[in-house]
Structure 1
Amino acid sequence: MATMQRGYVLHHRQFRESSVIVNLLIEGVGRVDAITRVGSGKRSIKSILQPFQPLIIQFSAKSEAKNLGLKNITHIEAAAPAMPLGGYSLYSGFYLNELLVRLLSVEHQAEGLFLDYHRALLALAKQFCSSHLRYFEMALLLELGALPSLSYDTQGDLLDKHCQYRFITESGFLPVVTTQESYFSHGKGCLSGAMLLALAAQDLQPDQFNQAKGLMRYLLNPLLGNKPLLSRQLFSKKAD
């Protein structure tokens, strides 16, 4: 008998008249793409086949779905009420989903990301804070092998909260001189050791948010390519 698994819908699109193709994040598995019939009337699953709705799902490999490189959903039900996201927290949830759909392939399953994602949604449901996005971005980059060491610098020494660093692609964080004389030449574009250590410990302070955001965006941009993230535009419209 097939096992029931916990999951979330990341995105779905219509497939034929009564079916949809769904991108899912499944506990213990990672990214799964599947096909399911949505049904109609009281038997319709449209109301639960939505982002941020905790689900319990059962899969099989029917021939049609298998030929399309997809799994087939044989049973799906709500596991708990949908996460109550609104405002910036809702936009943040869409941002996390878009990151996962864009960067996480079915071949790279990323078993551990489900819990990081679930925790991020729980935190955002309580109160919006950009630090929750940074911690998930960090977990995603680690899973993709694109997160530099947040413990040691390029010289093999432990990061120092009193030092400033520059990020060197494919090398890590290079310590820079921070004397008063050199501050103006080296300060711009530098990252504080205190911020890097706080990021690693998931203990960012408000005055470190912008620097952490800049670092995460710099690390993610090469993976995302030139196509802009639609979810980032939601934040811009909200700010207007």
Structure 2
Amino acid sequence: MRVQGYVIHTRPFQDNKVLLDVLTQEQGLIRAVWRRNTKEARVTPGSFLLHELELSGRGELKTARSVEPLESAASLQGNGLYSAFYLHELLERLVPTNLPVEPLFILYQWVIVNLRQGVPIAPLLRRFEVGLFDELGMGINLSCTARGEVLRSTQLYQFHGKFGLRPYLGDQPKVRPMIYLDGATAKGYTAGLWSNRSVLSMAKELHRAWLDAALGGRELKSRDLLPAAEFAGERLWQVPVFRFEESIK
């Protein structure tokens, strides 16, 4: 069986063998054992490159008979490299093996290409997170209230992981929400307005909380490599508040 994929993690195995975790277009995330020959004693398949793999085996752990790059090596550096590590850690932690996720494969490929070209990183990461959530059935719905009501742009809402959006009426909530945001910001998020500073800032805070819940409190090591800053904006009951601002051109 031949598949195309990106190697997202490697680790030593027995003798000259290496365990590969590969995001494939055909079968999603798969795990395979690859035996290096004597001349390749210290060689492992390059990250962020599309490979063609010849696989065998009926179980969950495949045997990689061959691993051949389909494109020339292209390096990532600095925050672009750390961002790619972050994508890999998300895939490793959250995506089940042998689950076809072709839209996520295509999205990953798109992000890697844009990271190589030096495109602003934050919008790429937020877009990837949205695609990951949707593909795993854990998407965030900011298109309407929990009761299905149309959002009003100037109304302030509270967002709860279990209950969705609820209008904020001025009282202290019994259950602390993840964030507060106005209807215009929620609409911008749903429309994918990643060029808007308010939408992008809100998405970063919300996705972080969403991921923390999905990971059950397990730390993402790659976060330590990326620039981090405490939210310094408006807060309500110690919870971040996001209000839509038109982007300055």
TM-score range with shorter-chain normalisation?
0.7 to 0.9
Aligned to 1:46: 43
**8 Å contact from structure 2 (residues 32, 63) kept in 1:** yes
Which of 118-127 and 194-203 deviates more? 194-203
- After superposition, give the CA deviation of every residue in 1:120-156 in whole Å (9 maximum; x if it has no partner): 1112222232111111111111122111323222121
Q: Quote the sequence identity (%).
A: 30
What's the RMSD between the two structures over aligned residues? 2.6
Tell whether 2:183 aligns with 1:197: no
**8 Å contact from structure 2 (residues 30, 98) kept in 1:** no
Cα separation, 2, equivalents of 1:123 and 1:171: 35
Cα separation, 2, equivalents of 1:102 and 1:90: 19
Deviation of the 1:7 alpha carbon: 0.5
- After superposition, give the CA deviation of every residue in 1:149-198 in whole Å (9 maximum; x if it has no partner): 23222121234444332112222222335xxxx59x9xx93123333333
**8 Å contact from structure 2 (residues 179, 206) kept in 1:** no
Letter in 1 for 2:143: S
Aligned to 1:32: 30
Contiguous gaps of at least 5 residues in structure 2? 229-249
Contiguous gaps of at least 5 residues in structure 1? none
Aligned to 1:123: 114
Aligned to 1:23: 21
Cα separation, 2, equivalents of 1:195 and 1:50: 40
Aligned to 1:78: 69
Tell whether 2:51 aligns with 1:55: yes
- After superposition, give the CA deviation of every residue in 1:57-100 in whole Å (9 maximum; x if it has no partner): 121117xxx4xx40111222111123432111110000000000
> Once superposed, which parts of structure 1, at least 4 consecutive aligned residues long, lie more than 6 Å away?
none
Q: Taking structure 1 as reference, are residues 86 and 159 closer, same or farther at Cα in structure 2, changes over 3 Å only?
A: farther
Q: Taking structure 1 as reference, are residues 202 and 45 closer, same or farther at Cα in structure 2, changes over 3 Å only?
A: farther
Q: Taking structure 1 as reference, are residues 24 and 192 closer, same or farther at Cα in structure 2, changes over 3 Å only?
A: farther
Cα separation, 1, equivalents of 2:153 and 2:38: 58
Name the structure where helix makes up a greater proportion of residues.
1
Aligned to 1:171: 163
What secondary structure sits across from 1:190 in the alignment?
strand
Q: What is the TM-score of this pair, normalised by structure 1?
A: 0.82
Aligned to 2:211: 220
Q: What is the TM-score of this pair, normalised by structure 2?
A: 0.79
How many residue pairs match? The answer is 222
Cα separation, 2, equivalents of 1:122 and 1:27: 16
Aligned to 2:232: none
**8 Å contact from structure 1 (residues 83, 122) kept in 2:** no
Letter in 2 for 1:211: M
Q: Taking structure 1 as reference, are residues 197 and 59 closer, same or farther at Cα in structure 2, changes over 3 Å only?
A: farther
Cα separation, 2, equivalents of 1:156 and 1:8: 40
Cα separation, 2, equivalents of 1:39 and 1:197: 55
Cα separation, 2, equivalents of 1:97 and 1:208: 24
Cα separation, 1, equivalents of 2:76 and 2:210: 27
Deviation of the 1:119 alpha carbon: 0.9
**8 Å contact from structure 2 (residues 9, 88) kept in 1:** yes
